Amino acid sequence: MGSASDMTGQTADRTQQATRSVQESTGQAADTARQAAGTVAGTARQTAGQAADVARQAPEQAIRQTQGNPLAAGLIAFGAGLLTASLLPTSQAEEQAAERAGQAVEPVKQAALESAQQLKEDATQAGRQAAQEVKDTASEAARATKEQAEEQAGHVTEQARRSAQTAAEEARGQTGSPGP
């Protein structure tokens, strides 16, 4: 019975370890998502700052580079506008992506917790089955031992009866025989 108890305890320990491991992994995934969102936001801010610097310097550079070339001036103005337009929506999109990533972690965490709970239930059921099997085996062994003990007791009783009978016959034979 002790071994079934040990097995159930070990199964419970393993289940708790698996649950802690899943919780730690889920926490690490959430931390990673938060860090990624922070990195994305930081990169967006840095890029926006660089774009602002470029935008401030752009008129002077454009004047220097485009003197006498109106096509180049048009391309530079178009590029600066495109760059500025792409930075503003990207930072909002990145923030939204970071929010979605944080929201996406919650279902994964929930699924991991459900999986750990199912693992715990399965391990508990396996422990109960093992304990029942050990109990059944012990009961069967006790029954077999009892039967063998009863059988041996019957043999000993019969042998004692025969020995007593033989001793009695020998005693009668010695008392009834003529002396020397």
Convert the pLDDT of each residue in 103-147 to its tens digit: 877 887 788 888 888 888 888 888 888 889 888 888 888 888 888
Does 170 map to a domain? no
Distance CA 130, CA 11 (A): 11
Domain that holds residue 67: 2-161
Does 26 map to a domain? yes
Domain count, the chain: 1
Instruction: Please state, rounded to an integer, the average pLDDT across all residues of the chain.
Output: 76
Does the predicted TM-score (pTM) go above 0.85? no
pLDDT at 33 over 70: no
Does 36 map to a domain? yes
Does 179 map to a domain? no
Does 172 map to a domain? no
Q: pLDDT exceeding 90 applies to what percent of the chain?
A: 0
Of 168, 172, 95, 130, give the one whose Cα is nearest residue 3.
Answer: 130
DSSP 68-124: T-HHHHHHHHHHHHHHHHHHHHHHHHHHHHHHHHHHHHHHHHHHHHHHHHHHHHHHH
pLDDT digits (tens, 9 = 90+) for 149-165: 888 888 888 888 888 88
pLDDT band of residue 96 (cuts 50, 70, 90) is confident
Q: For residue 22, give Cα distances in angstroms to 9, 70, 106, 108, 115.
A: 20, 63, 13, 10, 9
Give me the pLDDT at residue 94, please.
Answer: 67
Does 19 map to a domain? yes
Does 168 map to a domain? no
